[in-house]
Chains A and B, each alone.
Chain A
Amino acid sequence: MRRLSTFNIVSLTLGFAFLYVPMLILVIYSFNESKLVTVWAGFSTKWYGELLQNEAMIDAAWVTIKVAFFSSTLATVLGTMAAYVLVRRGRFFGRTVFSGMIYAPLVMPEVITGLSLLLLFIAIGLDRGVLTIVLAHTTFAMCYVSVVVSSRLVSFDDSLEEAALDLGASPFEAFRLVTLPIIAPAVISGWLLAFTLSLDDLVIASFTAGPSSTTLPIKIFSSVRLGVSPEINALSTIIIAIVTLGVLTASIVSKRQISQRLREEAQAG
């Protein structure tokens, strides 16, 4: 019934153009023949070829994916536990400190998190490498996971779990058979969030990485400092394509699930 005014249309158009034109330019110029990134010299995919030849880049990508996979999985387990504890288990000793530690990393400047973790690793004499990055990423990503999962847990009906206990399930069975399937979508999005945060992180990784464990963002950053390069454009395009595909797939799947559920509910009357 409400109609968009001209003002609304203009602000939406300009706003989304602002959000997307820079990335679009990046994608288009990744197919540029010329080494000069801002001058169009014809279509070519040669920078993609060169990117695949760049072994340092491929190694960095491999390290990044490894780190992201392990840290996000660990963060999902820890974050889900933390969320469950905070939402479900009323009071316990040190609860305030605990919830403070969960929320603090969300607002902590990355430079401080990175610095403090590095100083810890040095103090305990842990050599910097893949392990230290995984530990660092798990720590801040688990906080994001716990926020995502607890928002789902809050809206979750307590009596479902009580019903399971009433029917003879042990607390662990009740969690595994009732709670977990219901909060699964939140747990999955928590994992995805943790994975992307880890893939994306430059600052904390820079502090906690050793010479043999350069991640992709560190590699990109050091090369970008020297200016724009078509190879980085090609890499960016690949990342943008993967993210877009991933997000689209996820949203289509969840939309299907929702509409299927609505349909089933409608049929059930």
Chain B
Amino acid sequence: MRRLLVGVPYVWLLVLFLVPFGIVLKISLSDIALAIPPYTPTLDLSGGWAGIREFFSQLDLENYVFLTSDDLYWKAYLSSLQIAVIATFLTLLAGFPIAYGMARAPEEWRPALLMLVILPFWTSFLIRVYAWIGILSTEGFLNQFLLWTGLISEPLTILNTNTAVYIGIVYTYLPFMILPIYATLERMDASLLEAAEDLGCSRIQAFWLVTLPLARPGVVAGCFLVFIPTLGEFVIPSLLGGSDTLMIGKVLWEEFFNNRDWPVASAVAIILLLILIVPIILFQRNQQLNREAEQ
């Protein structure tokens, strides 16, 4: 009974999560071939021990060397990092005031406000990205509105630029930023602010000296929750970005589906994972510290 309970999900994840990784790793060390599947070597167990040795001797780091030699990949990693950092910062700028306003709102409003933040999260991601195409295009609603107000005389090109990608990321990941910040702000004891005022702070000083430092765990968590998925994002750059928008998720996709170069796509994936390990570990540590601080 107990074995079954542990065993079924364990084996499931082993087979459908861990083993696939092994395969990706292995293919990243293989060479491209005009065959099905389009890589070599393939493991042939009928060759016995010698066959396995033969198989391992054919694996090499050639694809990784290729990634360093072609500057497309370097640029894609760097530009993904850059876009993820800037987008995370912009999301924080947009999210913090909203979370702060929600935490200050009368208690009976808060569940409704919270639901308004969560609702878009349940709505299709794809549709939410799609909604911006009609807004940001040259004859889109934003340009129509700006022309109507007279702020601009020529329509702006926003769609298919990095600006559109930033807007898309901020829009879709905003709930991930708002929720953890709101959670820390809402938990904050209101008497702390009164104590700060009582000890001589103005409202604004109390915000800088008390509210902001106490919101830090939520801010950090929110930033990671936006940064980590943004780094490997595919849908937003491919729908809203331009041909010069380089993001690694898009490169991987194209390498795989358009060039059918599975070994290089696998190597791209492995490097992306290695890059992600650092923020993921930092995020885990932050969550751990928060849990400990709560106790």
Binding site for B on A (CB under 8 A): 2, 4-5, 7-9, 11-12, 15-16, 18-20, 22-23, 25-26, 29, 37-38, 78-79, 81-82, 84-85, 89, 92, 94, 97-98, 101-102, 104-105, 107-112, 115-117, 119-120, 122-123, 135-136, 138-139, 142, 146, 171-172, 196, 199-200, 202-203, 217, 220-221, 224-225, 227-228, 232-233, 236, 239-240, 243-244, 246-247, 251, 255
Contacts and interface: CB of A to CB of B under 8 A. Distances in A.
B10 to A, nearest CB: 6
B51 interface: no
A224 B140 CA distance: 15
A11 B130 contact: no
Contact of A8 (B101, B130, B228, B233): B101
Lowest 3 A-B CB distances belong to which pairs?
Answer: A109-B232, A11-B97, A116-B20
B130 A224 contact: yes
A94 B27 contact: no
Given A81-B8, A224-B133, A117 B234 contact: no
29 contacts: A4-B101, A4-B105, A8-B104, A9-B101, A12-B105, A15-B174, A23-B128, A26-B134, A79-B9, A89-B5, A89-B6, A102-B13, A104-B17, A109-B272, A110-B234, A111-B272, A115-B266, A119-B262, A120-B16, A120-B20, A123-B23, A142-B9, A142-B12, A203-B235, A224-B130, A228-B130, A228-B133, A239-B123, A247-B122
A117 B23 CA distance: 9
B68 to A, nearest CB: 20
Contacts of B115: 247, 251
A81 B12 CA distance: 12
Contact of B23 (A18, A107, A120): A120
Nearest to B117: A19
B113 interface: yes
Interface of B: 1-2, 5-6, 8-10, 12-21, 23-24, 27, 37, 94, 97-98, 100-102, 104-106, 111, 113, 115-120, 122-128, 130-135, 137, 139-141, 144, 171, 174, 190, 228-229, 231-235, 238-239, 249, 252-253, 256, 262, 265-266, 269, 272-273, 276, 280, 283
A247 B119 contact: yes
Nearest to A218: B126
A23 B101 contact: no
B272 A112 contact: yes
Given A9-B101, A110-B232, A112-B272, A38 B252 contact: no
A8 B13 CA distance: 46
Contact of A78 (B8, B14, B113, B232): B8
Q: Is chain A's binding surface mostly helix, strand, loop or mixed? A: helix
A227 B137 CA distance: 10
Given A120-B16, A239-B123, 19 more contacts: A5-B104, A8-B101, A12-B98, A16-B98, A22-B132, A38-B134, A85-B6, A104-B17, A107-B283, A109-B232, A112-B273, A115-B256, A119-B24, A123-B37, A202-B125, A221-B235, A228-B133, A244-B123, A251-B111
A220 B1 contact: no
Contacts of B124: 199-200, 217, 236, 239, 243
Given A109-B272, A111-B253, A171-B1, A15 B19 contact: no
A228 B123 contact: no
A82 B97 CA distance: 38
Contacts of B233: 109
A108 B269 CA distance: 11
Given A11-B97, A12-B102, A220 B8 contact: no
A68 B199 CA distance: 57
A107 B284 CA distance: 11
Given A25-B141, A225-B239, A244 B126 contact: no
Nearest to B233: A109
Given A22-B131, A84-B5, A239-B123, A119 B234 contact: no
A38 B140 contact: yes
Interface centre among B104, B127, B238 (most CB of A within 10 A): B127
A119 B266 contact: yes
A239 B229 CA distance: 24
Contacts of B13: 98, 101-102, 139, 142
B135 A101 contact: no
B141 to A, nearest CB: 6
A84 B5 CA distance: 8
Contacts of A92: 6
Given A81-B9, A104-B17, A4 B104 contact: yes
